[in-house]
Amino acid sequence: MKVGDGSRTSAWYDTWSNLGPLSNILTPRVISNVGFQLDAKVKDVHENGSWSWPMAWRDLYPVLIQRDHITLNPVERDEICWKDGSELLDYSSTNVWHSIRFREQDVNWVKIVWFPQCIPKHAFLMWLILRRKLLTQDKILQWEFSRRKNMNMMCCALCFADIDSHQHLFFECKFSSHIWNKV
């Protein structure tokens, strides 16, 4: 959490300091024994520029006392952030995705498939084609059950001459070739 006025950040259970959630070091019993509420927000444990930790905690949890001072800003809201390494980013699905995904070098056909205003359904199909992953009949026939049942029923729906496959659809099918030549 990026603390603004401290009114939306849980003092104990949110990560708002470099110590992580304070509940990692303070048990609910310890917290309530000194009079703090378990649902306290950061602003409830901060007064006049310093922390309202009880004296007893100073000896027991020195990290609490040493930690950086946070100045609450009454006109700023607390915000949920995404930490990417040491960088604090706005929490958005885009930022999270970019930080957790594995990045590879762009393939040289990337712009043919994905571009602004592409039709997602077409882009996805194109991606399958370029990966040679279209579910063509030659692939289906490799499945055990279909080999038994459907072998005789399978043929290219455009020319009826052969089973369809990547190679057939794009390079061998007479019907496709006819269209390609017209285009």
Q: Which residues bind Zn ion (CB under 5 A)?
A: 156, 158-159, 173
Q: Decide whether 10 or 137 has the Cβ nearer to Zn ion.
A: 137
Query: How many other C-beta atoms are found inside a 10 Å radius of the C-beta of residue 33?
Result: 11
Query: How many other C-beta atoms are found inside a 10 Å radius of the C-beta of residue 127?
Result: 15
For the chain, the DSSP string reads -B-SSSSSSBTTTS--STT--GGGTS-HHHHHHTT--TT-BGGGGEETTEE---HHHHHH-HHHHHSPP----TTS--B-EEEETTEEEE--HHHHHHHHSPP-PPPTTHHHH--TT--HHHHHHHHHHHTT----HHHHTTSHHHHHHTGGG---TTTSSS---HHIIIII-HHHHHHHHH-
